[in-house]
Every structure is written in structure tokens, then in C-alpha cells.
């Protein structure tokens, strides 16, 4: 397949890969340039370009609550959730779609927040680690991770938990191989994978009331 026909690649977590993200952004820029050129031919005034630091209004539905913000078009969902909304459970790590520590759910599907523009997420139901709690009570996946000590430094843990939550929403009873694939887009540099796999299996039981 020719490069210009190849669809953007996706990471196992469901989000665009870094290459796919840059490709999509480049195609968008080409499309905008073409649209402006066509408008100029027709004698129309070209659309005004936003400066890099100009903000636009956006409404993001985060953890069941609408949040009305003004954001810069270049801001990622990772930046907005941490800096603008104060949802800091997940940490900033690679910022290029390689580690999965910033994983969120968009309409129940795992996505890397560092590769997702905030404006792109408008109209979707965004779920962060904080949204998996019931008030002050931990959710079943969080409880399973604590029960099986499925972390060491804890830096990747928020993304691992959200990835498992996303897996169990689509597959309530995954096999070990399916669990491995489900968290394959999330890296644990401490190597706590055996406990993470056990925690995911336990979380499936807890969600079923076991």
C-alpha cells in the first residue's frame, strides 16, 4: 500500500501512535492549506488563523461532569486534565505515546492522553483514574491492584489500571493472553507484570461480584 494510502497506525491502547499522530496532523494542515487556496480562487476571504497562544472555548465531559474551558488548540488532553482541571493522579512521562502512563478512556476506549488534543476529545465521555472511584471508595480494578501489590514505583500504575478497566468493559472474562494484550501498550519499568496480570484477573472477579 502506498504511504499516502496507509491509515494511521494505532497503539494497542487504542490511541494513535506517534507516527500516526504526526501523519494525521500533517494531513490536516495540507487539507487546511488546500481549502484556503480554493477559497482564494473563489474570491473568498481566507479563514483567520489562530495564534499558537490563542484560546478557544471547549466543553469536555470528564468523569460525568461537563467542564467549560478555554484552551489553546495545541494543548493535549494530558496537559488540560493535569494543569487546567487538576486531575493529577496520572503522571506526565514520555509525552510521545510510548509508555501508556497517561491512558484515559474516551467513550470507554483506551487512548493516550498525550497524543490526544483536548479539542479532539470534545463530545466524548472522558474517564480518568479519578473517575473509577465511587466517592472515596476505590473501584474494583483499583482494589485488585492494591490486593495483589501490582506496582512498585507506582508511576505507571494509573495508566495500567485504566487500561485494565478498558479491557474489562469490552471483555469481562479475559484469558491471561488477552490480559497481556490488553495492557501491552502500558510499560512497567519495574517489571511488576506478573502481579499486574493477577490483579487484572482478580478485578474481573470483583466486577462480577466475586
Q: What would the pLDDT profile of 96-132 be if each residue is shown by its tens digit?
A: 999 999 999 999 999 999 999 999 999 999 999 999 9
Is residue 155 domain-shared with residue 191, that is, in the same domain? yes
The answer, yes or no, to whether residue 91 has pLDDT greater than 70, is yes
**Separation of CA 65 from chain center:** 17
Q: Which three cell numbers stand for residue 198?
A: 493477577
Is residue 105 domain-shared with residue 186, that is, in the same domain? no
Residue 96 makes CB contacts below 8 A (sequence gap 6+) with 18, 114, 115
Residue-level pLDDT at 53: 75
% of the chain beyond a pLDDT of 90: 71
Residue 42 makes CB contacts below 8 A (sequence gap 6+) with none
Is residue 92 domain-shared with residue 136, that is, in the same domain? no
Q: Which three cell numbers stand for residue 151?
A: 506496582
Q: Which of 46-60, 110-124, 154-168 has the lowest mean pLDDT?
A: 46-60
Compare 105 and 27 and report the one with higher pLDDT: 105
Compare 52 and 185 and report the one with higher pLDDT: 185
* Residue 5 pLDDT grade (very low, low, confident, very high; cuts 50, 70, 90): very low
The answer, yes or no, to whether residue 87 has pLDDT greater than 70, is yes
Q: What is the CATH number of the domain that holds 168?
A: 1.10.150.120
Compare 189 and 52 and report the one with higher pLDDT: 189
22 belongs to a structural domain? yes
Full residue range of the structural domain in which residue 58 is found: 18-37+53-129
Burial (0-12, 13-18, 19+ Cβ within 10 Å), 196: buried
Number of domains composing the chain: 2
- Determine how β-strand 125-127 pairs with β-strand 65-71: unpaired
Residue-level pLDDT at 209: 87
* Residue 2 pLDDT grade (very low, low, confident, very high; cuts 50, 70, 90): very low
Amino acid at each position: 500500500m502506498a504511504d499516502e494510502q496507509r491509515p494511521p497506525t494505532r497503539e494497542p491502547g487504542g490511541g494513535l501512535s506517534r507516527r500516526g499522530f504526526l501523519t494525521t496532523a500533517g494531513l490536516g494542515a495540507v487539507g487546511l492549506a488546500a481549502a484556503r487556496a480554493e477559497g482564494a480562487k473563489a474570491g473568498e476571504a481566507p479563514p483567520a488563523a489562530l495564534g499558537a497562544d490563542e484560546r478557544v472555548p471547549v466543553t469536555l465531559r470528564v468523569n460525568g461532569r461537563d467542564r467549560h474551558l478555554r484552551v489553546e488548540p495545541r494543548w493535549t488532553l494530558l496537559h488540560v486534565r493535569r494543569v487546567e482541571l487538576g486531575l493529577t493522579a496520572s503522571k506526565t512521562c514520555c509525552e510521545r505515546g510510548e509508555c501508556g502512563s497517561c491512558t484515559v478512556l474516551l467513550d470507554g476506549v483506551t487512548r493516550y492522553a498525550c497524543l490526544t488534543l483536548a479539542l479532539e476529545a470534545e463530545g466524548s465521555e472522558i474517564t480518568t483514574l479519578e473517575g473509577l472511584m465511587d466517592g472515596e471508595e476505590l473501584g474494583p480494578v483499583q482494589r485488585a491492584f492494591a490486593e495483589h501489590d501490582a506496582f512498585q514505583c507506582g508511576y505507571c500504575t494509573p495508566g495500567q489500571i485504566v487500561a485494565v478497566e478498558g479491557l474489562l468493559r469490552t471483555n469481562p472474562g479475559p484469558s491471561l493472553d488477552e490480559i497481556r494484550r490488553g495492557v501491552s501498550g502500558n510499560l512497567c519499568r519495574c517489571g511488576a507484570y506478573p502481579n499486574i496480570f493477577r490483579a487484572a484477573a482478580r478485578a474481573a472477579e470483583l466486577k462480577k461480584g466475586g
